[in-house]
Amino acid sequence: MFTPLAFGLQDVILLVVAVGGLGAFGIGAVLLFLFFRSSRSGTRGASQPVVYGNLVQCPNCGYMNPLETAACLNCRHPLSHMRGQPVPAAPAAPAAVPGYVPPQPQVPPPVQPTAGQQYAPAPAPVPAPAPGPVQAAPVPPPAPVAHQVPAEPPPPAPAGMPRAWLEGAGGAIMGHQAVLTQADTLVGRSTTCDVQIYDPKVSRRHFVIRYANGAFFLQDQQSSRGTRINGQPVMAQKLDDGDHIELGDSSLIFHVE
């Protein structure tokens, strides 16, 4: 006949501990598997920066950086940008020429008077003449006005650059046009900008439109309210004909032939 097993309190405790240990081991194995899986997927998903002429685009935030930049100027993400393209080496600094040190003049020692030599007494000071009537100095003729030097013209457009312009579609620049005549065109509220927009919500240096490698790119200059292209906020993006650019309460349309 079947005889039931008798379990004591000690046997029950050992059984509970064994079951708990097996459960902890299983959970640890599952967590370790998920960790290695996420590490491999993260490694496979890492993208490489894209080079556009003399610009390199950050794979993390899309910011356009100069080609020789080692880390993104916006998010500090490292840029391993060289798909076979070496970074141009900086020109070697000229060797320092030692400065010329002029010889120090030698001061002759003071002459000591010898015995028998006597110095003549200094002559008495001559009294100043009495002041006479003061005559007014003649007024000089006005100096000729110098001709104003004309401002330095902007640098010419790069060879092969197509005709492109910005059309004001809303806000303070509504109805105006600005032709892009150089490689870098700065847009903002400051008077030093190539395209000035009198909008209080536009930053002094809002964004730059750069022509490189046969295409136009927009790069935000850390503006306070950001830049949107076709309704999407961007830091750096290639421009196409008809793109709508929004900054502050103003909007522009990019055109290129």
pLDDT of res. 39:
56
pLDDT of res. 31:
82
For residue 132, being part of any structural domain is answered with no
pLDDT of res. 149:
43
pLDDT of res. 162:
94
Structurally, the chain folds into a number of domains equal to: 1
For residue 234, being part of any structural domain is answered with yes
Residue-range definition of the domain harbouring residue 209: 164-256
CATH of residue 242: 2.60.200.20
- Single pTM value for the model: 0.46
For residue 252, being part of any structural domain is answered with yes
For residue 173, being part of any structural domain is answered with yes
Q: Can you read off the two tokens belonging to residue 57?
A: 């685009």
For residue 102, being part of any structural domain is answered with no
pLDDT of res. 148:
46
Block means of pLDDT (10 residues each) for the chain, 257 residues, are 59 80 82 71 58 82 83 84 49 53 62 54 65 62 50 68 95 93 95 94 96 94 95 95 96 96
> Cα(173)–Cα(17) distance, rounded to whole angstroms?
76
